[in-house]
Structure 1
């Protein structure tokens, strides 16, 4: 749980420079907006934790200077006048941009690999034009213009992708057009009797949720990237959110779709369920722009709950915590959040907390002393957050049932205080990654899903694989994990890893990332639970789909986009 520095007026002026029309973007070189950053001066346990975990002395390490955009060598646009004129006819002359800053902002997402490349000025292929359509008709006109001129189109939402889904293919000889949907940001209407909302695909999480909340509704979808990701991006990558245990993943939430495709708008009616042959809706979900540009979705929404509370619990070890999450999933209780961190991540969470003072500090020390007397290994104990929503009596029943399971597995309640902090800081972790990168430390995340029967073996096996990878490159590294989403048959395991890079950060990162991803496959998991495939995870897709399955995907892409104009080479190379 992190803490941020708020931007100054000067910072806001810098942020205004990264705008086109009324669309604001994240920093070209990092996460979030200029002037907002992680700091550790008020977290006395953080620097010692980092020294122990990866061997870097924060107090003795000067951060790198902010990257200088003027030092980048940005390739010139190769877009011809005919394409420019066609796009201007679609979106207006002001909606077609070829400035270097806009083009660089739209070149990469925000993975650690992306940040390493852009900070080093490695720009092998930059979009030639960025266009800003203001409505669905303009998006359709852009798609038709791009195909007619045999260019390449890449949809862009909030720019938060970490799977390589936004990156143009190096060496692409045709003009590349990034279609920024930031102007399509409105909730168009709510069917209040059915609990369905029509929302434009470019709406970012905070705007979307605020518009729904004004009318008493919520989408219930809160991924880590919530503040800088869009509805269309969630759908295009099959996103999951922190409260998916209750509301479902975006695949469950999305009912109807509009997709701009070459020659016409694909419209899928919003219905509760249907037996209409192979699901075109499912084909669009996770398609990463390869089947067209998502312009609008009809999604399930829920009334804002009367009460929402997150309780924290400690378990004596990982096995006890994961067993409790499985038993909760198998029960009739349906909390909004079921999350448990392993001992490593629990140590990290405690280290990122501010110093406790007064009664709260004494209470924490007393609790830890009590647990130690009970024989707990405090380095192995696991912090869990379980969220309850609904009417007061419903929340009380849920909590009572859950706490019976917690007690049965040796856990203890810690109250709501840590849960309040979790809620306040849940979207801040990417700023911490940038803080560490500024000090030479490479950190990233990978997630998978696995049946309950293989969950603990997956947890232990991935940690062992990462540690072996660190040893192979001669680096001191760290890896930690939490269970983030529970299902009837299994769960998502989310791993965070970091090490101090030296000679070749990307090559060293490749060794560690590859070891983790391969362990996912070897231990019965999938290459991604909710971040998508893109370029980053395509290598492992045949392992879970089989070669005939890859053939089905390649046949679909070839039939629906014979000219390879729609974000080619993502998901599959063809």
Structure 2
């Protein structure tokens, strides 16, 4: 669809030794203070460690590293072991008027991890990876106290050993952390049942300059404007999150994913809306548009009975029903609970699917989806090798506008591709559902290996994000704001909303030491402050 030969490499990855890494500007005084707090081993200034911590994993990050445009690399990377060390290092960095950027798994894709261009102060990256333990489980309340630096799989292994799960599984699950999820208001694949991280996180500890915020794990509160909500999504601008109290659940007796097909994406959207308003409290309801359905089926593994995701008999049945096979939409619905509960919910969903013209095809495709669900984000490096620039943008709208924003965003993207004279593709799936609306997750890929590739990417990203604003969407559902999305914040939450956010950050951090430039900055739509056009 985009005219790329995936057997040929056109953009080889440069050897690290060819990169011109700026020298560390860490002063002797600050180094001595940090070594006194952490020990020599956990104060690292080698080039590789500093470059790894200079970026997230956005497509712009990958493109810049490949061309050797490293920007403002951190001067030092710190690895604290406990709460006391985090408190001491925060105070030391602020006292030295340095810039402090918290680092979890490094999977952020909205430029939330890099220092601002031209920053002259010392830049300190704080890797929370040593804070990786489940500290306590309150089995009566269904709460767990967990350190913020733990990676998703490690956390779930620790919980599972005691019969519990948090149920939070974002695409980045393998390489992201609890603190990162909280700092970006993350959402997981099973959020229809378990909630977003904003629902899951009930209390937390955050180190601020000269003080520590302690929020107890309460089910609800009327204690004025919610401080917990202020921290959620704050992207390091208010402090360093060191631990959190989160909801946990007993591991369910039964877990299964059922696959369904609909004649069109619009029919699938309507079915998901009906499922949400029914008595079926599913843990996931996902439907892909026609192009993404083709992408999924092209990536299916062959087996004895199924050639990909759909065997010939099912295709024949679709044709008999009068379906256009180029327009079909694939859906996965997840069920958890007791055997009888899953059977009941599956029956409800089956009837809803049928009412909307769909059909079920069993558990086989769902099993395959489970095996591959964390793979797709890591194809971007492979794609870049072949001159294909790929990225994602997600938004939420009320149900009334769900179909419109999909149609209009697809049209706007392809109009821009035509204008630029390049081949591109955009596809989408509904990924998270709520009472009043849903998240739709768009993926786009552009065939451009020229020196103008980043400019082409900017144009595509800008038109997609602006479509969200024009058709009742939000700037982001769960990836956060960083620098990439902040130019749209006034359209999203109004100028007064941005004013409130600015005042919050200025009040907590008057010296602008805590990850400055994130969430609110003075760029323009589609161009981050690190972009060539800034």
How do 1:58-457 and structure 2 match up within 5 A? 58-59=6-7, 61-62=8-9, 64-358=11-305, 364-457=311-404
SS at match of 1:309: strand
CA contact (8 A) 2:309 2:365 kept: no
| Residue in 1 that maps onto 2:481 | 533
Of 501, 507, 512 in structure 1, the residue corresponding to residue 455 of structure 2 is 507
Establish whether residue 563 from structure 1 lines up as the match of residue 511 from structure 2: yes
Secondary structure of the residue that 1:350 maps to in structure 2?
helix
* Runs of at least 5 residues in structure 1 that lack an aligned partner in the other structure: 1-52
Shift of 1:503: 3.0
Between the aligned partners of 2:433 and 2:455, the Cα distance in structure 1 is 34
Question: In structure 2, what is the equivalent of residue 496 of structure 1?
Answer: 443
Give the match's secondary structure for 2:336: strand
Cα deviation digits, residues 219-254 of structure 1 (max 9, x gap): 000000000000000000000000000000000000
Post-superposition offset of 1:64: 3.9
Compute the displacement of 1:264 (Å): 1.5
CA distance in 1, matches of 2:362, 2:305: 17
| Count of residues in Structure 1 that have an aligned counterpart in Structure 2 | 521
How far has the Cα of 1:93 moved from its partner? 1.6
Q: C-alpha distance in 2, partners of 1:63/1:245?
A: 41
Aligned to 1:11: none
Alpha carbons 2:280, 2:345 under 8 Å: kept? yes
SS at structure 2 position matched to 1:311: strand
Decide whether aligned partners of structure 1 residues 62 and 545 sit closer, same or farther in structure 2, where only a CA change above 3 A counts. closer
- How far residue 436 of structure 1 moved from its aligned partner, in angstroms, is 1.0
Distance 1:363 1:327, change over 3 A: closer
TM-score (norm 1): 0.89
User: Does 2:470 align with 1:522?
Assistant: yes
Equivalent-residue separation in structure 1 for 2:162 and 2:310 (angstroms): 41
Deviations 1:340-381 (A, max 9, x none): 000110000001112344566797011101111211001100
- CA shift, 1:504, in A, is 1.3
What secondary structure, in the 3-state scheme, does the structure 2 residue paired with 1:546 have?
A: helix
Q: Describe the SS at the equivalent of 1:493.
A: strand
TM-score normalised by length of structure 2: 0.96
Per the TM alignment, residue 468 of structure 1 is displaced from its structure 2 partner at its CA by 1.1
Instruction: Give 1:89 deviation, angstroms.
Output: 1.7
Give the structure 2 partner of residue 4 of structure 1.
Answer: none
Residues in 1 aligned to 2:201 and 2:427: alpha-carbon distance in whole angstroms:
32
How large is the RMSD of aligned CA atoms in angstroms? 1.2
1:476 is matched with which residue?
423
Q: Matched residues in 2 for 1:543 and 1:64: separation?
A: 37
Q: Find the partner of 1:548 among 496, 511, 522.
A: 496
Deviation string, structure 1 residues 123-157 (Cα, Å, up to 9, x no partner): 12100000000011111111100101000000000
Q: Which runs of 5+ in 2 are unaligned?
A: 523-534
Deviation digits for residues 444-485 of structure 1 (CA, Å, limit 9, x no counterpart): 000000000000000001101110111121101000000000
User: More deviation in 84-93 or 207-216?
Assistant: 84-93
Q: Distance in 2 between matches of 1:396 and 1:362?
A: 23
Tell me the SS of whatever aligns to 1:87. helix
Q: Deviations over 1:285-336 (max 9, x none)?
A: 0000000000000000000101100000000001110000000111121100
**After the TM superposition, which segments of 4 or more aligned residues of structure 1 sit over 4 Å from their partners?**
358-363
Secondary structure of the residue that 1:215 maps to in structure 2? coil
